[in-house]
Amino acid sequence: MQLTGNTILITGGTSGIGRGFAEAFHRLGNQVIVAGRRRALLDEVTAANPGMRAVELDIGDPAAIKAVAATLVSEFPALNVLFNNAGIMPFDDASGVIDDTVAQAILTTNLLGPIRMTSALIEHLKARPRATVINNTSVLAFLPLASTAVYSASKAALHAYTLAQRFMLRNTRVTVQEIAPPWVDTDLIRKSGDPRAMPLDAFIAETMAGLGTEAEEVVVEAVRSVRDNPGANEHAMVNAFNAALVADPIPV
């Protein structure tokens, strides 16, 4: 994608990876609109970044998505980039009872949110001279973390959707890029400074460089071998990965 001259909506843009990308695009002179549920956080981000705009949005509410999309098209007719970033990551135990309310919330936010948000804006984006949809999945789409089984599944599903979406948009002016972050040191789990987590600033810098190309999928070099997880060895790799985390758990 082109990294400048855009009007960009970033869902879940008030903290962590979302805020990191919002501020990176803002520094390049793009018009950035951050979306989130909490007005106080929206105000904090925009106050820290003069010129950035904000919109309240509950990504789990289909009616709210439609209403916000209509407002954005009216107030920001140059909108040409949708960055589907909002996500939640509760831990679970697939060997026992899964809380249905929590599972539905994960799928609604992480999978249906991007589907509904894109659907609400896609005709507008197709009318722009150039447009991009960015879907934030996860390296866990390819190497599931056993203690976040539903989250990992939601990201695998979004990856599959992204592949299909890209194909269906192939004859339009809308390109589709996917980012698949590793463990980044943010509050999505718990910001802890764990050396196994990639520092946020390093992740943003490397991923921005990738987004500035024609790459369909952007993965930081540190986890490229995970992304290239070979099919025949998948089970052994997943088991070894999770066994290592049982021995040295992620802090929650």
Tell me whether residue 151 is one of the annotated catalytic residues.
Answer: yes
- pLDDT at position 24, please? 98
Determine, yes or no, domain membership for 29: yes
Lowest mean pLDDT among 69-78, 111-120, 171-180, 243-252: 243-252
**What CATH number is attached to the domain comprising 204?**
3.40.50.720
- pLDDT at position 192, please? 63
Instruction: Give the count of domains, the chain.
Output: 1
**161: helix, strand or coil:** helix
* Alpha-carbon 147 to chain mean position: 20
Determine, yes or no, domain membership for 251: no
pLDDT tens digits along 54-98: 999 999 999 999 999 999 999 999 999 999 999 999 999 999 999
Contact present, 176 and 208 (Cβ < 8 Å): no
Contact present, 30 and 5 (Cβ < 8 Å): yes
Determine, yes or no, domain membership for 252: no
Ramachandran region, residue 142 (left: φ > 0; alpha: ψ -120 to 50; beta: rest): alpha
pTM (predicted TM-score): 0.93
Determine, yes or no, domain membership for 44: yes
pLDDT beyond 70 at 191: no
Q: Tell me which of 21, 83, 151, 161 is the catalytic residue.
A: 151
Determine, yes or no, domain membership for 12: yes
Determine, yes or no, domain membership for 191: yes
Beta-strand ranges (E) seen in 62-187 are 81-84, 131-136, 174-179
Determine, yes or no, domain membership for 1: no
Instruction: Take residue 195 and report the two structure tokens written for it.
Output: 């050396």
> Which domain range does residue 150 map to?
7-246
Residue 51, C-beta contacts closer than 8 angstroms, at least 6 positions apart: 26, 31
Query: Which amino acid is present at 54?
Result: A
Determine, yes or no, domain membership for 2: no
DSSP state of 3: S
